[in-house]
Structure 1
Amino acid sequence: MKMCFWNCAKAYNQADFGAALSDLREVDHKAAGAFLACNPTLFCRAFISTRSKTDVVVNNMAETFYAYIIEARYKHLLYMLEDIRTSIMTRLVSKKAEMEKLTVTVCPRVQARLEEAKKKSVEYSIFSSTTTLFQVKQGIDEVNVDLVARTCTCKRWDLTGIPYSHAVAAIFEIHGQPEDYVDDMYKKEAFLGAIMVQLPPCPSQRHWPKVEMTSTAHNKRRCPDKDRVVEPPAKRGRGRPRSINSQREEVATTSTQPHHALTAQPTRIRRGGRMIMAGRGTTRGRGAGRGTTRRRGSGRGRVNSSTYSLPSVFSIL
């Protein structure tokens, strides 16, 4: 199943991806379902954007850098950063000198991949459609190669920017050089331009300039403002704002009545928490008109809300 997984992850096109997924289903149907549940479009080559010009689907580049700074990672923060800076500073100089000595057009590792593609290109049959568009055949498999758009049906050239054996065979058909069709990011000039950055040397702490500190006693424990409370900005309440009259009534109520008179009398609170002022607010019973309560045997009289008994209040709420 491990090999089936890597075949799915490293497939360059949809056809190869489907074939590898079918092989995985034959080995274990549940494993194939678990593989699809992980959203293969995020880590399989068949779904990577062709703008990236890379076919890397693992984190080997990060692991290589971690191994390069393995000794510095266990030091104190300041010394760790200094060791990393020194290593990168010297590495830039050595890589630049090494690349300037080479006479190749593209980077050495890219040139090695081109040499492998050149050896494999002799296995294909070439059918020309135009001087730049070809049909390349190997056995029962056929792909199209466009030298102007620099694309191939297998998608390897599209994804990496490096001509694969299909494209190399088409390039040899017009007596061209595969190195001329490599993406510019893999050229020698691009590599030298990327490492032209120079890191300046830095002396040890012993030679650093002395600076007069203006607040040497200022720290977290002795900060004069450590007990000062910073009030957060007021948040706007949800819902529609209340009317001006209701706000005035609330202000007048809170200013004339004590706190316990507003919170300890459940008979004075309507639904929603609004207060019922004594002598003014009334509650509507079933079948009664606005502002009145109808009882059996009584007329349409107005009843003060402050005279309600406790059971009648609970039945209303």
Structure 2
Amino acid sequence: MCYNKAGYEEALAKLNEINVEVALDFKAYNPENFCRAFLSTDIKTDAITSNIAETFNGYIINARTKHLLHMLEEIKSNLMHRMIQKKQPMEKCTSVFCPRIQTKLDHKKDKAAMCEVLPSTMKLFNVTCFTYQVVVNLETMSCTCKKWDMLGIPYKHAIACIFFLNREAEEFVHQCYTKESYMTAYAGSIPPLVGERYWPKVTYQLQPPSIKIWPSRPRKKRVKDPYENPKKPGVLTKNGVEMTCSLCNVKGHNKSKCPKKGKIVPPEPTAKRPRGRPSLGKEAEL
């Protein structure tokens, strides 16, 4: 998914060339509500999924079948254990940022060599990468591609400008990714509770809440998509997708069932671009 409106419109134009009806159906679902190009940059994430809810639902799926008190006790115990489990490894971390964020940043540093920087001021730059040009503002921590704005981690365009000023990219990473912010998020705790044997005794005649038994067995699992792969939860099958042969470029079959198999030489894979900044030749060295 594209991070900016220019990329979104290009992708939509390609979809319109392939299938006009599919493009119209896509626009009917209001892409402004789920496409990255229209998301707010205040929340530093590009994920548009319900994975957090699904993960928590799977985390408590066994506890949901139990009595109310036992269900709450098991959820409490699991959350207590999870918070400590998340906190302990980070306490041993010696870096300023979380390890995964540092790995992502290092990966983007390698791509910065592909960018050409043209400064306007010490905080405003034009960056050319292949055939497109963007504007990077180090003061507002923004870029035309919107990846830095949305994630809070400098992308290759911004890192190239940062290196141009002989500064470190870690200075421009959002504070939400620091070890300090992570530890603050897990600083709270759930207090332990004694068992039922040690509860205080009361003289009131308490009646348990009425339990209404609904017909049929209670649902435990989520409602699945009709085209979801039963062997791979969350992955849709290729039902309705028209295949294109990579040998003859004809739709309706793949290369394993191509009638011209053995008669056509498969194209060679494109060579990968070497890592690092391309050399300028001997003349530049002189």
TM-score above 0.5, yes or no:
yes
Question: Using a 3 Å threshold, how does the CA distance of structure 1 residues 217 and 18 change in structure 2: closer, same or farther?
Answer: closer
Selected match of 1:157 from 144, 148, 168: 148
Selected match of 1:109 from 100, 103, 119: 100
Please name the residue that 1:25 is paired with. Answer: 16
Q: Equivalent residue of 1:55, what SS?
A: coil
Within 5 Å, which residues of 2 pair with 1:1-317? Answer: 10-213=1-204
Q: 1-side partners of 2:121 and 2:192: how far apart?
A: 57
Normalising by structure 1, we get a TM-score of: 0.63
Question: Using a 3 Å threshold, how does the CA distance of structure 1 residues 217 and 57 change in structure 2: closer, same or farther?
Answer: closer
Question: Using a 3 Å threshold, how does the CA distance of structure 1 residues 154 and 216 change in structure 2: closer, same or farther?
Answer: closer
Q: Equivalent residue of 1:90, what SS?
A: helix
Q: What's the RMSD between the two structures over aligned residues?
A: 2.0
1:200-227 deviation line (CA, Å, top 9, x unaligned): 112222221112215659989xxxxxxx
Residue segments in structure 2 that go unaligned for 5+ positions in a row? 212-286
Whichever residue aligns with residue 103 of structure 2, its letter is: A
Normalising by structure 2, we get a TM-score of: 0.69
Q: 1-side partners of 2:210 and 2:109: how far apart?
A: 67
Q: 2-side partners of 1:219 and 1:48: how far apart?
A: 45
Whichever residue aligns with residue 128 of structure 2, its letter is: K
Question: Using a 3 Å threshold, how does the CA distance of structure 1 residues 154 and 83 change in structure 2: closer, same or farther?
Answer: same
Worse-matched range after superposition: 54-63 or 148-157: 54-63
Please name the residue that 2:240 is paired with. Answer: none
Q: Equivalent residue of 2:150, what SS?
A: helix
Q: 2-side partners of 1:83 and 1:112: how far apart?
A: 35
Structure of higher RCO (CA pairs closer than 8 Å, 6+ residues apart): 2
Question: Using a 3 Å threshold, how does the CA distance of structure 1 residues 128 and 216 change in structure 2: closer, same or farther?
Answer: closer
Worse-matched range after superposition: 67-76 or 115-124: 67-76
1:108-138 deviation line (CA, Å, top 9, x unaligned): 2211211111111111111111111111111
Residue segments in structure 1 that go unaligned for 5+ positions in a row? 1-9, 221-317
Aligned length: 211
